[in-house]
Amino acid sequence: MENTPKTRVGLGYSFIPNPVQVNPMDNLKIRRAASSDVERIVELGLLLQEHAEKSNPLIWRITEEGKKLIKQKVETDLTDSNVLVLLAEAHGEVIGYVRGEVVRRSDHVPETVGHVSLMYVVRRFRRKGVGICLMKELCRFFDSQKAQDLTVRYIIGNKEAEGFWRKLGFEPILMTSSMHPRELDFKLKAIIK
């Protein structure tokens, strides 16, 4: 992104430009998702969830009801002007996707933030420039929406995501921790006697 400041404020991971060289795959096409792509996006979303759950067994698990709601969420995303879902296609096969959303707010600075909320590339197509190409196109959307900061969230333990986002220059600025309420109660009772 042009004119990007060196210091950033935001949630999750903040974007600081970092030069990356990539030779994308031949026949790679990045395009906006259409309603005819919903089923494939749902499949990729479930693969992403499965990958995240394997990466870190402590994360929240998706329920059967949650799986059913993914389709409805994707359909809503495709009609929301603040959301862009992009697909990566090779030889007519959808091999990856990214979902970005622009949030505008007046109670914090920066006021306009682009969130990279979901990204998944099919395993056999990773490390071939697909994610970079998806992000390049998503950044055009963020630029058009005047995003002043970019953020991404991913699961700790997802080594592929950690490497990818760091390579692009995203730096951690916020940690989210989790604990079962009974465990905390037990620890507090041990501390406060």
pLDDT of residue 142: 97
Structural domains in the chain (count): 1
Query: Would residue 2 count as lying in a domain?
Result: no
CATH classification at residue 53: 3.40.630.30
Query: Would residue 37 count as lying in a domain?
Result: yes
pLDDT of residue 24: 60
Query: Would residue 84 count as lying in a domain?
Result: yes
- Give the C-alpha separation, 189 to 31, whole Å: 55
User: What is the value of pTM for the model shown?
Assistant: 0.83
pLDDT of residue 12: 44
In tens, the pLDDT along 97-154 reads 999 999 999 999 999 999 999 999 999 999 999 999 999 999 999 999 999 999 999 9
- Poorest-pLDDT segment among 81-85, 130-134, 171-175: 171-175
Range 18-40 average pLDDT: 80
Query: Would residue 21 count as lying in a domain?
Result: yes
Phi, psi of 26 (to 5 degrees): -70, 150
Q: Is the pLDDT of residue 193 over 90?
A: no
Query: Would residue 7 count as lying in a domain?
Result: no
Query: Would residue 6 count as lying in a domain?
Result: no
Query: Would residue 52 count as lying in a domain?
Result: yes
Q: Which domain holds residue 26?
A: 13-191
In tens, the pLDDT along 140-170 reads 999 999 999 999 999 999 999 999 999 999 9
Range 66-80 average pLDDT: 95
Query: Would residue 73 count as lying in a domain?
Result: yes
**Virtual CA dihedral for 126, 103, 35, 61, nearest 10 degrees?**
60
pLDDT of residue 4: 44
Sheet containing 149-152, strands listed edge to edge, beginning at the edge strand earlier in sequence: 28-32, 83-90, 93-104, 112-121, 149-152, 13-15, 170-172
